[in-house]
Structure formats: structure tokens, C-alpha cells
Structure 1
């Protein structure tokens, strides 16, 4: 029940619930990955079952695809959709310009492909994800397994000339084995502490052999829906330059929470 949610989970829930209002009948919708995006998928599933909403969802990971099917959303591939009306996803950090760090859940490659194949991208997040400057959250970089140690060394050498505070990097692990993405790659987490020029860093990273994609989403997000633990919601539209405020009610009868696994 919603009354049993922590303040952070309440904030994630209200952001997702409010963002679901932007989804209209007939839309092709990119479905993000992560705990906040899972609230969104559940909310949309409820709208499909109870309100007859008809949408087609393009998931950004195998686990999002599984959840979407479980709640009754029609799942199609991006190749089938070709272009999307809207993508809604979470973020690990966002700044005042709605630039993002994503990839904490390991799906940054598919997330960026889907987001950039959309007319609009909406980010849903709790207020704790807002930062003045990106970089406190480790920046994920997806790399091919072949020669990953060499790629790691090249990245660390390159960081010397970048406007960052930290230069250490670690291979993301899954237990005692390297984490493997849906595309069969590894992830290097860059512990930069502060990123002074995200646009430059993103461009340089993606020019390096062995790097598939990085978790900096620059000029991709159009709107962020920020949730607070008391039910307040703030909607920031970077294109319109507007900030709106709303409040979502918690219903004890809400059944979205019973078996959601983050």
C-alpha cells in the first residue's frame, strides 16, 4: 500500500503517476529502465486495464519489457515503431539545463537510442536526483569486452585533460563477474565527482575505440517531472521555460505496489 512507501518511493511514485498523464491514446512510448521507470510502467498498465488506454511500448531493457508485458502493455521493438511520440525514463542526476547522467541500471545504450528516436523525452525523478553540477554519481561508459583494460587506461589518460575533479574508474561487477549489458558489453564507472563540461566529455568519450556509449544525456531531455515525498510534483519544461506545480493524492486502495521489484 502507498502508506507503507518510504518518502523516496513516494516521490518516485508521484512523479511517475503525474508523467503518465502525458501519454495519450495511440502513442508509441519509450519505456525507461530503473525503479522510477517501473512505477511509470505500472501506472500505464493500470490505465491500459482500467481506462482502455491503447499504446505500444518500446522498452529499454529486457526487464522493462518483461514488466510491461506483465501489466498488459503491448510491447514492440524500436525497429517496428521506427519513431516514438514520447519516451519517459528516470535519471541518476539532472541539472538546471536538464542534462542528465543515466546508466545506473546498466541500460544506458538502449535508453539513449530510444530517447533520441522520440519527439519528446520526459524524465521522472525524486528531488534527490537534482544537482547543481553533474558528476557526483559515477558516469557509466559502456565498452566492448575485447581489450576493456586498454580502453579503461585510455579513458583515464584522457581524463587528465578534462574539466573533472576525479579520474578513477572501475569495472562494474555482478557478484564476482563483470556486469554484462543487454548488448553483451561491460560498463566502466567513472568517478569524476564534478563534470565541468559535459558536452565536451561526451564527445571525446564516444570518439575512443572500444567505447560504445556514455551515460551523459546532453540536450536530449525536454521535461522533468520531479516528485517529493509529501506528494508534491514540479514539472519543468526546458523548451517552454515554464515550471508548474501539482499535488498527487495517495490512495490506500492503489494496487500498484503489491509486487513491484526495483
Structure 2
């Protein structure tokens, strides 16, 4: 997989790259991802105004060394991920459901808990993955694997996020696979997000500094990058993916897909530093 970081490009660029339709493709083409480092609010304003779907270290009394604090913070974050994942699975998974399984480190805990419940409660659960990583997790845990061809409508999808604001608008795709994640989420009756306390923001861009991810098909990477730079002063920097290889098998004729998930999440579970779980529901308009 190939990734690109595009800096400073407003979302109005994507007006001439509409998402028209997608075509299954299982060849050996590598996907391209652009992470647009610009003000996420500008992307959000475009997404809302266009009326177009985008489917679119706890303080202590003792002084620790910097490495010790980092280690402590990492352990806390991992426990927070687990708390959020377990709460989501316990509250939203029922018998005889088709479940969308997201990607990323937090999802590992969700699949662990889902496996426990399937075995303990003898649940009949079918899982649809959003990436190669998710597919492997499903198979390794002995869960039933399916896809959108056989199950185009999901009861619930659970996935992580890079950042979540107060309106439940998400930035996703920092690790890749945002197109498949968005497709699966869009096919679910209920889209539930799990994250640790570091992903919680009042406004997008407060925590996540790498920018809004954008996926493009490989042949469009250079034209899109040049257009960003020419029209909006953006800078595109190519990045090779380290994880989640082969995560894309669908390519959009419309060329691009953004990592803004607007109006899609129903509820977010945040695992907190103090061991609690905070929930945030989508505001009623």
C-alpha cells in the first residue's frame, strides 16, 4: 500500500472528483492514501454545506523518568482501549447479528471480547471485515467470516477512530483502509466507535495533527497531488505503509475518498484514564 500526506488542501478540491460509483477489483494494484494536513474544520464545512454523503500519565506524587512516563502512558492507553471495546461489544452485540469488524489496535480488544461472548453464550454471529488485518483477526479467533456480497446489510459495525469531536464527526484512515471502513460503516444500521481518551477532541485537529486522510487510486496519485499543490498550496509527501498491507480491494472511479466520517457514528465509547468508560451519542438535530 502507498500513502501520501497532503498538507494544506481545502476540501473544495474534491468538488471535481465526485464519488460516482465503485468497482470491485482484486488485482495487485497498491492503494494510495493522502493525509491532508490542513484545518479539518474546512473539510467539515465543505462536507456539510455540499449536502453530499461522503461515503462518502495520571499525575503522581513521585517523579518518573521520561521513558517511565511514556511506558506508563502506553499501558494506560491500552487498558483504556480494552475498556471501550468491551463496553461496545457488551452493549451492542446480540445473537443472530451480522457485525462489521473495523481495523486498528482498539479493534483487537473488541474481537477478543466478541470471541468470549460467542463461545460463552453460543451466539450466532457473522463478521464482515474492513481490512486484511480484520479478516485475519476473525479467522484466527474462529469467528464466522463473510463479506458484503453475501451480507450487504449489517446490523452493527464497530470501528476505531483517529479523532472524534463533540458532534461525533470522525477522522479515520491514519492507518489506511478508510475506504473499506467507510463502506462497511455505511452498510450498517448502527455504527459504533471505540477509542481511548487521547482521541477525544472538542474540535477536529486538536489531538490528531497529521491531517485528514484521503485515499486515491494509484494512477491518480500524481495528478491529485499536483492539483492540491497548484490550486491550494498543499504539499504531498509519499509514505509507504508499514502495516495493514492489502487492505484495499475496492477502487473508486471518482478517484478520491476522504477520512472524514460525517453524521455516521451513532455512539462513541471512550476508555478513560481513571478506568471508567465515557459515552457520547450523536446530537439530535
Question: Judging changes above 3 Å, is the alpha-carbon distance between structure 1 residues 131 and 181 closer, same or farther for their aligned structure 2 residues?
Answer: farther
Q: Deviations over 1:110-138 (max 9, x none)?
A: 00000011111110001110122223232
Aligned to 1:108: 178
> Taking structure 2 as the reference length, what is the TM-score of the superposition?
0.67
For the residue of structure 2 that corresponds to 1:231, the secondary structure is coil
Task: Verify: 1:46 aligned to 2:46, yes or no.
Answer: no
Aligned to 2:79: 10
- Write the distance in 1 (CA, Å) between the matches of 2:224 and 2:161: 25
Displacement, 1:76? 0.3
* 1:1-262 equivalent positions in 2, closer than 5 A: 6-21=75-90, 22-135=92-205, 136-159=209-232, 167-174=234-241, 181-183=246-248, 211-238=255-282
Question: Judging changes above 3 Å, is the alpha-carbon distance between structure 1 residues 185 and 138 closer, same or farther for their aligned structure 2 residues?
Answer: farther
**Root-mean-square deviation (Å):** 2.6
Number of aligned residue pairs: 209
- Equivalent pair of 2:106/2:195 in contact (CA under 8 Å): yes
> Taking structure 1 as the reference length, what is the TM-score of the superposition?
0.73
For the residue of structure 1 that corresponds to 2:150, the secondary structure is helix
- Equivalent pair of 2:161/2:171 in contact (CA under 8 Å): yes
Question: Judging changes above 3 Å, is the alpha-carbon distance between structure 1 residues 209 and 61 closer, same or farther for their aligned structure 2 residues?
Answer: closer
Displacement, 1:229? 3.0
Gap regions ≥5 residues in structure 1: 161-166, 187-207, 242-262
- Write the distance in 2 (CA, Å) between the matches of 1:138 and 1:181: 23
Displacement, 1:232? 0.2
- Equivalent pair of 1:151/1:210 in contact (CA under 8 Å): no
For the residue of structure 2 that corresponds to 1:17, the secondary structure is helix
- Write the distance in 1 (CA, Å) between the matches of 2:215 and 2:152: 24
- Equivalent pair of 2:160/2:193 in contact (CA under 8 Å): yes
For the residue of structure 2 that corresponds to 1:25, the secondary structure is coil
* Segment of structure 1 superposing worse, 228-237 or 88-97: 228-237
Q: Deviations over 1:12-41 (max 9, x none)?
A: 000000000110001111000000111111
Q: Deviations over 1:182-202 (max 9, x none)?
A: 33699xxxxxxxxxxxxxxxx
